[in-house]
Every structure is written in structure tokens, then in C-alpha cells.
A and B are shown apart, each in its own frame.
Chain A
Amino acid sequence: MPRRTDIKSILLIGSGPIVIGQACEFDYSGTQACKALREEGYRVILINSNPATIMTDPELADRTYVEPITAEVVEKVIERERPDALLPTMGGQTALNATMALVKRGTLEKYGVKLIGASAEAIHKAEDREAFKHAMQRIGLRVPTSGTAHTREEAIKILDQTGFPSIIRPSFTMGGTGGNIAYNREEFEKLIDWALAMSPVSQVLIEESLIGWKEYELEVMRDLKDNVVIICPIENLDPMGVHTGDSITVAPAMTLSDKEYQRMRDAAVRIMREIGVDTGGSNVQFGLNPQNGDMVIIEMNPRVSRSSALASKATGFPIAKIAAKLAVGYTLDEITNDITGVTKASFEPTIDYVVVKIPRFAFQKFRGADPTLTTQMKSVGEVMAIGRTFKEALQKAIRSLELNMNGFSSREGLDRGIPEGFDRPQGLERVRQHLRTPISERLWHVADGMRLGLSNDDLFALTMIDPWFLEQVRELIQFEALLVGQAGKKSSALEESFLWRAKELGFSDDRIAQLIGSTSASVRKQRTRAGQGKRGVTYKRVDTCAAEFEAHTPYLYSTYGSECEARPTDRKKVIILGGGPNRIGQGIEFDYCCVHAVMALREEGIESIMVNCNPETVSTDYDTSDRLYFEPLTEEDVLNIVEREQPLGVVLQFGGQTPLKLALPLSKAGVRILGTSPDAIDRAEDRERFRDLLNKLGLRQAESGMARSVDESLRIAAQISYPVMVRPSYVLGGRSMQIVYDESGLLEYMRSAVKASPKHPVLIDKYLSDAIEVDADAISDGTNVVVAGIMEHIEEAGVHSGDSACSLPPYSLDHSVVEEIRRQMKALALELGVIGLMNAQFAIKDKTIYVLEVNPRGSRTVPFVSKAIGVPLAKLAMKTMVGKTLPELGLVEAPAPAHLSVKESVFPFNKFPGVDVLLGPEMKSTGEVMGIDQDFGWAFAKSQAGAGAPLPKGGTAFISVKESDRPAALEVVQQLQRLGFAIEATSGTAAYLRDHGVQTETVNKVKEGRPHVVDHIKNGQIALVVNTVRTASAHADSLSIRREALNKGLAYYTTIRGARAAVMGIEAILKTELTIRSLQEYHGTGSAER
């Protein structure tokens, strides 16, 4: 069937900010969809509130709305753009939910917008737990015994049939938010309340437990002619009970015979037909009883998902792109498989390698978070690795994680055998303890269990991990013992065949060196010598067809085989190192920059070579760069590629910390680093050198010192005076950073958080309280510097810059201050010899500017600034690195837009019950949204709505602030009152407010008896919360207020500056109408009507 001609324009809804369960995989899918639909000549209208996405680049759609994804705003877009159709399946749960809301409002009917890809009925049938259960029963498939509840009482009744442990699954949430496993009645009652609160429709499924069953996932595509193909069977290494997003997963399925696999395939096909997903990709999850093969259907997603991204990268089959084409009427047999160029999309990929995905967690960022893995997703990112065997892929995935583990590093210190004096029984007990409940490092504990003599049966009983996987790990651990047996010998004495065997098994040079007591450099040397150009690392192509057809796309992975398919070209080429797994502090923004670097190289006629290991990304699409190496970002793996490709140079400044860590080792190995020199990077990162740099330029820095002992820390703190900011010197990204207000606080920190030592000193900085923080991004070609964006933080200095909301241009700073920052930026960039991007953070206190830090690389804010000012900074930066000057690129001065752009951060607190939502110097956000408007108030209001906590238009505001904030709070409260809000406050604040003429209701603090403020929040009597605290004990007292505000989705502010901005936002939404504009309109660019 040819493409549909009855539709001309299509609206696409993105997935909004990056949160746990919904990460950059939807940028990958949305980007593919935009490209595919425009390729077919459709006018594409896009809405997504997340500026750090490739899909929101103005070139990718005809109209791009960076606006909050709410039914109200999407309706406005529809009213304005009048699209013929809406494709709801590319933007994750967010897009599905928004679509269903539009259906309910009658918007689609009113404007005659057709749903393509999946109908409302299909979405309902798949997403509504009860409807899905009935659908499965209709086609004779088993689902776990379950019941649906809307109240705690209903839920308890269901328990009679389902028993314990009990699986709790809220409806219409993503990443299993609010889901859990309850082992007893008490736990159940607690968890059910949470689950009901998390479901937007207050619906919860109570399900029989299938903990320990094997879990599988099938990715399915269907077209309008009812052709169905399975893209990939994926097997979870972690059995049922762990959310699939938190499981280690493997493709293809490893332990299914053909009979069982086909039964699953049959079921998947029938489910597609029964649910009625007309076109596109879906995934179906299965549980399988390892004792007898009983099969149950867990769930299905009628849309592309995180696992479709994984399956796409794992097979080379671009699910989202094909799904978009199917949505507009093509059939699978009409679409060519890009990789082979001769076969069609209507086939099932077969793979001749193994893919392993390992999730990455961030529990250390959330004090008090429960690290047990359950049915609710908790990981913030993932890595994928490809190897010719499971063992090789697994070891590559481990080193891709960047957790300082070069392999199965022992958690018990048993890497090189069991040390003398090791208490074996105690060690075993510890290991058993770790294995009983699933946690993120379980597989490493499995390895330790093996080292301590546990059998596969023992380990299976503890973990229910399939013995096949256990045996694979055992083979690695056994080989490690052989390597340890070589210790003491020179690495040059390693027998050649033994070395190759180790490499085939995926051992890194580093791990081999550690086990034989050598250095990775000497293992590398030995490897090169032994290979003599004949043996060594080889690259294979991912081709969808196990080599049955020739692959035309250089999508490569390394292995130790006998034939290399890399076939490097002799063109001018550049390697770009990607950002690795998403984690807090390093997310989609860096992938955005890498993709732009690729585009820039293409425009310059230079071949781009991408190296990355994050399957969720656009950068790892095989058609993004000219050549893609899906590889770990370690020194060894990158050097191997450099040796094979011989590029002009390597680009490090776009991938965040990951590639930056490689600057020194790579340049030591003689690799040319493009752009800013590694020495300049060091000058900005090394404390002493950085101080010299600022002194030379006459710039100010907050007073600071370095303590190597507790006594020294007290001395320094006293000298520079409290409050001070403290952090260990060896971590980045704000980990373990804290503000301490007095000596006892400092002592507490020094005792509990860090161990100061001569090798690992603790850094102490003067904390500039109530200072305004500013982020700035600049681009330089070495001679010319353009300061592209200066952003004023909404929250005061002390809140991590990645967590703070910010405004571009500044909304309260004096012009002279802004100009001075601009001057300092230029001076810094020139002095450092920056070629490419530079970011710096400043604190402004009493009009004095302090430089906080300088990062001579692409920063988190680059995509935001690019979208705010309409200049593709990363792209231009890449071009400066290959010799272009800024004037040549037409950038002499940054445009000063008439509109305001506000960035707001988005936090994963709703995934971690009990964790405090207060912001501090340690970064906690997973993503960001952008609000754009003509005035600050509206831009801020939009950013809040985009982040999921829309500003209220009236009601009661609850105020409880620390003493020092009271005068400032008064101003905020007076304005709220003027805007019609009633005011409620705890006794101290209330008294102060009343003294100053504000009519205020007093409400009990939680410890003061009921009804208290949390009761009020729970009852829906509060619309806005302003709560600032200082001391740790006050934190604990008010924690439940903030948690409850979060649960209720209320707008809450924990800083006065934030509250002030909220007031401006409320004023705007009360006084003026919502207006929306596309990026193309803001920047006067974009394509004309087609």
C-alpha cells in the first residue's frame, strides 16, 4: 500500500523531560519519526518540553513547540496548526497519556484529527489493567491472577485470591512508578496508598507473585496488512520481581528452545491482533515458570519503548523509523532494509552476536532511598555491549558502566584469590545476604559466591538466576583463577594462546593486568607484539541478518576473531567520543552535543566516527554518523579504534566527563585531541593551577582551602568563616558535597561523609549565602569569543547548577553585572586557549562576581542556550575545532532574543519514597524542561507546568520558612495575598506574618498534633507550598510536608527566590492568556508552509 494521501500534516508528541523510566530513548524514537515522516513529505508539528533533545531542533520539524505537554497546551497547538493526524506512539507514556486526555476532552473529534499508529481503543485495552486482562483471557492466554482496586479496602479484599508476596502495579504509570512487592499485610497497606497516589486514575492492580520466574520480552511490528514480525526476543538475566528496566537483559534469548520460543511468538502475534495495534512497534513481556514452562503474559506496551530502542540497537532494525512509515500506510514489504539495501523490512532480524544491557543506578545520590530492586524502575541509565559471546558482551558491558570496575571486581577483595586471614564463613554469610534480595550489584556478589565455593544450585536457590547464566559467570571466574596463576611471571611470558583466550572472553587489558600483577600498558604491548598485525582486535558489523547479506552500514563492534570488517576509508575523519550511560549529572544534553558535532562534520565534508555505548541515544543510531563503533569508552577500547581508523583527531569536549577522563591517557598515547588542549582542561580542573589562572586575570574566587585532616579542616573553616561548602577532592558532579553552617556540622561531615587523608584531601570553600548564581556558555575559535548565553539561576548559589532553574536572559541582574560576566568569560576563554565550547559558573553577592568553576567543554546548558537564542552552538564549536573561525561561521555576536527562556529541572523523587526533596550542592535531577514566552512570568509558569507541577491560580498557600528568610518571605506572601491566595503558616512564621499585617491561619506542624499541615495537604486544602529550612533537625520535621506536596503534585518551593519566581508566574497566568509560539517563529527560521 502506498502512503496515505488523505493526511498532509502530522502532530507528534514527545516524552518531555528525562525521568526514571523515560529517558533519551524517546528522543531516539521521536527523531527517527520526524525524519521518516518528513522524508515522506508530511508537514510535521512537534511538541516537546525538553530542549535537550535532537527532535526539538528546529530543522527536524516544520513547527516545533517547546511547550509543556499538557492537554490544554496540546489543544492549543492543534487549534493553531490544525494537523490532520496525531501519532501518539513515539513519546512514551507521556504522549499516550496526553493523547488519551485529548480524546476525553473531545479535542481530536472537534478538530478532525485522526489517530494513527494506535487507536484510542487499542491504547485503552493495552494500558487499562482490567481491560488487558480480559483481552488476554479472550484469546486463551494466561495472565497472573489479579484484581483491580480503587481503594485500600478493595485492594485488601483482592489479597484473598492473590496472596503474598503481592505485586502492586498502578495503572497508567511509566517505569512502574508506584509499583512494589509487599511481603506482609502491614507493608501491603503502606505500599497500596503510595500506589494509588501514583496512578493518575487511582487504579491499582494487585497481582499474584511470580517472583523467580524467567522473564522475556518480544519486540513486535505490525502493518496495516496485518503482517507481523518479531524484531528480537530479549531475555532478562534477573528473574521476575525486578523491573525489566532494572534487569540485566540479553539478546537474543539464551535459554529458550525453538518450541518455547515459537509458542511465545504465536502469543505475541495474537496479542497484537487482539489489542488492535494497527501499525508500529509494541513490546510484550512474558513470564515463564522455570520448573515446567508455564507461560503468562505480564504486559504489553502499544508504542515504542525503552526496549524497542534496545532492540533497534541490538539488531540494527530501526523500529521507530519503520513504525512511523507503517503509521502512514506503508507495509513492511514496501520498506527497504537500509543495512543490506536488498532485503525488506518484513523479515525477522537474526543476530550472530550477543547483546547485554546493564542498567546504571544512582542510589548514592538519594540518601534514604531503598536500593532493593522491585517492580518499579529505579535505574537512571543503561549501557549496552556487543560481543560474539555472552561472556565477552557481559565483560564489555561491565566496563562500559564506568563504575571503576574493569571486570568482575570482587566486592570482598577476592580478586587474586582468598587472602590469608579472610573469614570465610563470615564472608559467605555477607554474600548470601547480598544475594537474597535483588540489588544493583548482585552479579558481582554472585561472582564472589563462586570464589567462596557456592555451587550453581546454591546460587540458583538464592537468586533464581538461570543456571546457564550462572555457569557463564563461573567460566569467567575460573579463567580469572588461571590468570592469577600466571601472577609473578612477566606479562611477556603469557602464553599467546592463553592471552587470546582471555581477550576472546572479553577480559580488559586492565583486568588481566590486575590479575597477573602487571600494568595494562604492558599487557597491551604484549598483545600487539604477539599479534604482529595478524591477530588482535577485529571489528564485526551489525547487519540484521547474521552475514547472510552484505552490510552496507558500518555499524561495528569489537571482538577477537579472525576477520576484521571495519574497512576504514582513507577520507579525512574525526572520532567523537560519546557520553556513555546516562546518570545524574550526565544525560541527554551530551548526546545532543555529540550528534551536533556529527552534523557539523558532515557539513564540512569530514567523515564522522561515533563511539558510544548507550543504547538509548540518537548518537548510536547507525545513520547518525558515517561510522558507528558501539564500544565501551575506556582507554583500551578507544585506542583500539584510533589505531584502526587513524583519524585526524579525537573530540572529547561534547561527551561530558566520560571522554574528558580520557584526555590525558589518550594524549599520552599520541592521539591528537581536537579543540581545547588537554593542558587547558587540566588548568581549569586542577585547583592550584586554576587559582593561578584567576589571579593572572585578576578574577575573584571564593576563599578556600584544602584539608588533609580533621584538625586542618576546622582551622581552614574558621579562617574563611562559616558557612562553608565541603567536598572530597576525588569526586565530581557534586557527590558528597555539603554546606555546613558551624563547627559541629563540619565535624559531623568529616566523621560520616569522608575520610580526609593526604592523598584525598577535603576541599573547603566559603559558601556565599544568598548569592545569585549564574551559568554562562561561550564559544571560541582561539581568537574570537562569543558569549552565547548568560543564565541567572532562580535558586540561590549552593543549589547545584544542574538542579537549579534558570532564566536566559537574566531576569533580575543589573546590566553592568551581566556585561562584566561577559568580559570575564572572554578573558577566561582566551587565556585558556579554548577552541570550541566553554562553560563557567559565577556567584554574585553584593554586585561582586566570584568565579565558581570553569569547564572548557560543552556543558549541560548548551542545548538550552542553543534553543533559546536560535544558534546551534555545538555544531559551530565542532567547526571551530576543524579550523573554521567564528566570523567565517557568521557568528560575531550572540543574538539577544526578545523572549525569555526558563529552564527547570526535573527530579526522580517520586521513585524514592521517603527521600527528602530539598535541593543542595549535590545534583539530583534527571532532566529538564524549557518554558519560553514573551515575559518571565509566563516562561516560568510554563517551565513549572512542563516539569509536572503547574502553578495554582488560587487557593491556600502554606508558608513555613527559616527565621532568616522571614523578611523576604513577607514580600512573597503579601503578593500572594494580593493575588487572592489565602495564607496558612506554622506558628513561628504565622506570628511574624500577622505582626506585619498579613492575615494568616496558623496550622499545626506535624509534631504539634492533628489536624496538621500534612492532613491539610492530603485533603487537597493546600495549593502551594513554600518551605525553607536550615538545620538538619528542621529538615526531618518538615520532610513529610515536602513529600506530601510531591505526592499530590503540588507546586512547592524550597527557596525564597524560587517562591518569588512562582509569584511572578502566578501573576502572569492570572492576568494574561496562554500564548504559544513555535521555535521557528521565535527565531524567524524554519520552513515555510508546505
Chain B
Amino acid sequence: MKKALLALADGTLFEGRALGYEGETVGEVVFNTAMTGYQEVLTDPSYKGQIITMTCPHIGNYGVTPEDIESRRIWAEGFIVKEASSLASNWRSKQQLQGYLLDAKIVGIEGLDTRALTRHLREHGSQQGLITHIEMDTRLAVEKAKAAPSIIGRDLATTVTCEQSYRWTEGSGEWIPALGDKPRVAATRRWHVVAYDFGVKQNILRQLVDVGCAVTVVPASTTAKQVQTLKPDGVFLSNGPGDPEGVPYAIAAVRELIGQYPLFGICLGHQILGLALGLKTYKLKFGHHGANHPVMNLRTRQVEITSQNHNFAVQVTQPISAIPDRPPVIETSFGKVAVTHLSLNDHSIEGLACVDRPVFSVQYHPEASPGPHDSAYLFTEFIQLMEKQHV
């Protein structure tokens, strides 16, 4: 079995076995704690610039299928697993993980102590790393890791966004979230939503269709004026990779759009909205990447188990140290903004809403995929905002 090496910028080394495409790759090494959904993770454009470590030890068990992709290709820079399955077993599987990685030219490593790696990243923070099947000189490998670009300040949305706008019509089909007690309202009409693609996950688009939207996906660089010409009922700001401060053009466009149309942002979209509202963002030590993050909806006091994947977060002037009794409200140049959702793990901000304007956003991923469907109601709330605005 061919050997492989993972070198981190701080000089830490892990030996393992080669996985996927033979070669070497650099990126920011992060860990994801989801136990299912590796294909969704790999194809999530938000992972551009990053090497993903899966903490779940067996990856590839159920193979891959074109049905489960979140974008047109794999965006992650590299893949680290404890053990890649040599056999895929599932009635939907079309291919084995190894072949999938190979086809996509993704360099990976397996057989290392991924828990030790995760603990290292937790203690010392996410950092640049190199996976190599070629360069076995450890000193040189660490040098290469160090030389890899950081994601701080980087505009990665440009790399992953669509080139041209397009219509999206596919819904979730048989995989529609079915929590039952929160039925999806039948839309009174087909709402036209313009969705900014900063690296959009397809499941967001599917869920917009599920709740009755006609979706036009537009490139990240689309201006507010261009949006206006599309005459949308609402505007959606997608997730995406990189540093929100790296996309000033998007922040500027959103600033113009606030108040004009109902706005809904997810992840990077939420961070961009935060910056547009005049708030700040900061980089988390090792980010939130997983499918088990508890978030409290401060308006209902209910806890949602959420899917998360972000390295940056929105900051308010005062750090929130405990769960407040009611949503804290911040004054901005766009009026009052409420913190609507909070992480129960680290009290970071998970949701914002303008008090006087039809604008809201969440840091986490209500579209799940992978992850629980607890927050699917947010898509319905978006529809309700558009309905209210329409009346």
C-alpha cells in the first residue's frame, strides 16, 4: 500500500496510506464531525480551499450517487479519513468513493489517527496543511504546508460561483423533509427568488422550490441593479467558501438590497448580510463543521439540531456569554437588528433579523444535506415574508 503524509504548518506530521488521486495538495485542514453525508460534504462549495478530515472512522460505506451531490463537482482540496471502505453497499450507490475521488483528482490520505489530528486542530486551530503521496521529505512537506495560502481575507466565492445566471426547478422529491408537525404552507403563488450563488448548495435551491419558489440563480458578482431588473419577490444569499470580508462587492450589493426585497441569507450569505448591516465578522479557532450543533431559536426557545459548516462568524459589540431571555437587539444604520438564534455550544451568533425590515439570516444550514431537518421551517418563513411584503 502506498504511503502518504499529512504535514501541518506547525510542523505536526501524520503518516498514512494514499487515498484517491496520486499527488499532493494544500489547503486549510478542518474537521467535520457528521457521521453521514460525506458526498454532500465533498461537493459543498463552502469547502473550497480546505482539506476535510472526517471524524467518523468509516467513510465510503454506502458509495456515491449523482442524486446526492450539492454542486457540480468536488470542491474540497483534499480528504482525510480513518478508513475508506473497499466496498460500497447501498441500493442507490453508483460508484465507490475511491473511484469518485480519483475521477475528481482529489488527493487524500487514510489510515492515520484522525482523532489525534482532530484534537490537534481543536487545540491549535485550523491551519494550512499538505497531503502528499510524493514528497516524503518531512521538512520540505512542512515548508509546503506553510506556504499554502490562508483563507483569511480571501475571495473564494468568485472561484465557485456560476458563470451565468440560470433557472433552478428541481425540488427535493422523495427526500423532502418530513417532520410532520410543521407542514409546509402551500404557496399562494409562485414566488420569484433571485439566489446569489456564492457557492450555493443545491439542496437550498431544492428546498426553495419545495416551498413554491421559482428560482433564478445569479453569479456572486451580480449588482443590486441587475437584481432589480429580474423583478424578484425575494432575494436569497447563499452559503459559500472563504472570508466574508473578501467579497466587498457582494456586501455593497446586499447593502443596497436591504429593505427593497425580502432577504434571506445562509452561512456566508448571513455573514455578508452582517457586514452589510455594519456588524463585524471574525474567524473561529477551528470553525463549526458537523451535523449535531444545537442552536436555540431565541424567539420560540426551541432547540434545533443543525448542520453547520463555517469558519467565520458575525460579532456583535458585546460578546454573548449566556443564553439571554429574549433576543438581544443591536442598533445599526438599518435600524434594530435582533439576534434570533444562538449556538448552545459556544454562544456564537447563529441568526439575525432586522426588526423593521423583511431581512433575516442564519449562520447554520437549514437545508441540511447532510444533517437534520429541524430548521426547514426557515424556508417557509421566507415565503411568509414575501407574502407579507406582497400584501
CA–CA, A468 and B370, complex, Å: 22
Residues of B within 8 A of A352 (CB): 33, 55-57, 82, 114-115, 118
Cβ contact of B61, chosen from A139, A233, A468, A549, cutoff 8 A: A468
CA–CA, A351 and B61, complex, Å: 16
CA–CA, A291 and B92, complex, Å: 9
Counting from the closest, the 6 A-B pairs by CB-CB distance are A258-B37, A563-B116, A258-B370, A546-B55, A468-B89, A561-B113
User: For window 365-406 of chain A, which residues contact chain B by CB distance below 8 Å?
Assistant: 388-390
Cβ contact of A346, chosen from B86, B92, B119, B294, cutoff 8 A: B294
Known: A350-B292, A352-B114. A388 touches B179 (CB 8 A): no
A333 & B36 in contact (Cβ 8 Å cutoff): no
Cβ contact of B294, chosen from A259, A260, A344, A389, cutoff 8 A: A344
Q: Is A273's beta carbon under 8 Å from chain B? A: yes
Residues of A within 8 A of B37 (CB): 257-258
12 CB contacts below 8 A, A to B, read A227-B303, A256-B62, A262-B372, A290-B91, A333-B296, A349-B292, A350-B33, A352-B57, A389-B58, A468-B85, A547-B31, A561-B115
Residues of B within 8 A of A547 (CB): 31, 55, 115, 118-119, 122
B181 & A346 in contact (Cβ 8 Å cutoff): no
Main secondary structure of the interface of A (DSSP, over half): loop
Residues of B within 8 A of A263 (CB): 175, 178
B178 & A342 in contact (Cβ 8 Å cutoff): no
CA–CA, A292 and B91, complex, Å: 6
Q: Is A161's beta carbon under 8 Å from chain B? A: no
Residues of A within 8 A of B57 (CB): 352-354, 388-389
User: For window 75-129 of chain B, which residues contact chain A by CB distance below 8 Å?
Assistant: 82-83, 85-92, 112-116, 118-119, 122
CA–CA, A353 and B114, complex, Å: 10
Residues of B within 8 A of A291 (CB): 91
The number of residues on chain A lying at the interface, defined by a beta carbon within 8 Å of a beta carbon of chain B, is: 67
Cβ contact of B115, chosen from A229, A350, A388, A467, cutoff 8 A: A388
B113 & A266 in contact (Cβ 8 Å cutoff): no
Interface string of B167-192 (1 = CB under 8 A from A): 00000000101111100000000000
**Chain B: minimal CB distance from A225 (Å):** 6
Residues of A within 8 A of B296 (CB): 333
Residues of A within 8 A of B65 (CB): 257
Q: Is A775's beta carbon under 8 Å from chain B? A: no
Cβ contact of A270, chosen from B31, B40, B114, B179, cutoff 8 A: B179
B35 & A346 in contact (Cβ 8 Å cutoff): no
A562 & B112 in contact (Cβ 8 Å cutoff): yes
Residues of A within 8 A of B83 (CB): 389
Q: Which residue of A lies closest to B32 (CB)?
A: A546
Q: Which residue of B lies closest to A467 (CB)?
A: B89
Q: Is A265's beta carbon under 8 Å from chain B? A: yes
Q: Is B291's beta carbon under 8 Å from chain A? A: yes
Residues of B within 8 A of A344 (CB): 294, 344-345
Max count, chain A CB within 10 A of own CB: residue among B35, B36, B180: B35
Q: Is B215's beta carbon under 8 Å from chain A? A: no
Q: Is B293's beta carbon under 8 Å from chain A? A: yes
Q: Is A1087's beta carbon under 8 Å from chain B? A: no
Residues of B within 8 A of A274 (CB): 180
Q: Which residue of A lies closest to B286 (CB)?
A: A548
Q: Is A540's beta carbon under 8 Å from chain B? A: yes
CA–CA, A466 and B55, complex, Å: 23
CA–CA, A443 and B249, complex, Å: 61
B40 & A258 in contact (Cβ 8 Å cutoff): yes
B292 & A348 in contact (Cβ 8 Å cutoff): yes
B373 & A262 in contact (Cβ 8 Å cutoff): yes
Residues of B within 8 A of A346 (CB): 294, 303, 305, 344
Q: Which residue of A lies closest to B123 (CB)?
A: A550
**Chain B: minimal CB distance from A455 (Å):** 12
Q: Which residue of A lies closest to B16 (CB)?
A: A562
CA–CA, A467 and B93, complex, Å: 13
Q: Is B329's beta carbon under 8 Å from chain A? A: no
Q: Is B50's beta carbon under 8 Å from chain A? A: no
User: For window 280-319 of chain A, which residues contact chain B by CB distance below 8 Å?
Assistant: 290-293
Q: Is B377's beta carbon under 8 Å from chain A? A: no
A546 & B56 in contact (Cβ 8 Å cutoff): yes
Residues of B within 8 A of A550 (CB): 122
**Chain A: minimal CB distance from B254 (Å):** 30
B55 & A343 in contact (Cβ 8 Å cutoff): no
CA–CA, A274 and B86, complex, Å: 41
A257 & B89 in contact (Cβ 8 Å cutoff): no
Interface size bracket, B side: 35 or more
Residues of A within 8 A of B92 (CB): 257, 293
A347 & B178 in contact (Cβ 8 Å cutoff): no
Q: Is A545's beta carbon under 8 Å from chain B? A: yes
CA–CA, A939 and B113, complex, Å: 58
Cβ contact of A255, chosen from B31, B61, B179, cutoff 8 A: B61
**Chain A: minimal CB distance from B380 (Å):** 16
Q: Which residue of B lies closest to A475 (CB)?
A: B86
CA–CA, A257 and B59, complex, Å: 10
**Chain A: minimal CB distance from B94 (Å):** 12
- Apart from A270-B179, A343-B345: 9 A-B pairs, beta carbons within 8 A: A229-B305, A258-B370, A273-B180, A274-B180, A333-B323, A350-B33, A350-B56, A545-B33, A546-B55
Residues of A within 8 A of B177 (CB): 262, 266
Interface string of B45-72 (1 = CB under 8 A from A): 0000000000111100110010110000
B68 & A257 in contact (Cβ 8 Å cutoff): yes
**Chain A: minimal CB distance from B355 (Å):** 25
Cβ contact of A259, chosen from B68, B114, B301, cutoff 8 A: B68
Residues of B within 8 A of A947 (CB): none
User: For window 445-472 of chain A, which residues contact chain B by CB distance below 8 Å?
Assistant: 456, 466-468, 471
Q: Is B311's beta carbon under 8 Å from chain A? A: no
Cβ contact of A389, chosen from B82, B88, B323, cutoff 8 A: B82
Residues of A within 8 A of B29 (CB): none
A467 & B87 in contact (Cβ 8 Å cutoff): yes
Q: Is A226's beta carbon under 8 Å from chain B? A: yes
Residues of A within 8 A of B290 (CB): 350, 546, 548
Q: Is A269's beta carbon under 8 Å from chain B? A: yes
Residues of B within 8 A of A260 (CB): 90
Q: Is B14's beta carbon under 8 Å from chain A? A: yes
Residues of A within 8 A of B89 (CB): 255, 466-468, 471
A267 & B178 in contact (Cβ 8 Å cutoff): yes
Q: Is A254's beta carbon under 8 Å from chain B? A: yes
Q: Is A16's beta carbon under 8 Å from chain B? A: no
B58 & A354 in contact (Cβ 8 Å cutoff): yes
B90 & A258 in contact (Cβ 8 Å cutoff): no
Q: Is A252's beta carbon under 8 Å from chain B? A: yes
Q: Is B316's beta carbon under 8 Å from chain A? A: no
Q: Is B302's beta carbon under 8 Å from chain A? A: yes
Interface string of A547-558 (1 = CB under 8 A from B): 111100000000
Interface string of A228-254 (1 = CB under 8 A from B): 011001000000000000000000111
B175 & A259 in contact (Cβ 8 Å cutoff): yes
Q: Is A332's beta carbon under 8 Å from chain B? A: yes
Residues of B within 8 A of A349 (CB): 292
Known: A227-B303, A343-B344. A258 touches B369 (CB 8 A): yes
B116 & A561 in contact (Cβ 8 Å cutoff): yes
Q: Is A261's beta carbon under 8 Å from chain B? A: yes
Q: Is B371's beta carbon under 8 Å from chain A? A: yes
A347 & B87 in contact (Cβ 8 Å cutoff): no
A252 & B345 in contact (Cβ 8 Å cutoff): no
Max count, chain B CB within 10 A of own CB: residue among A342, A468, A561: A468
Residues of B within 8 A of A225 (CB): 301-303
Q: Which residue of B lies closest to A392 (CB)?
A: B57
CA–CA, A1037 and B113, complex, Å: 64
Residues of B within 8 A of A290 (CB): 91
Known: A225-B301, A350-B56. A546 touches B33 (CB 8 A): yes
Interface string of B225-265 (1 = CB under 8 A from A): 00000000000000000000000000000000000000000
CA–CA, A150 and B292, complex, Å: 45
Residues of A within 8 A of B55 (CB): 350, 352, 546-548
CA–CA, A549 and B181, complex, Å: 33
Q: Is B330's beta carbon under 8 Å from chain A? A: no
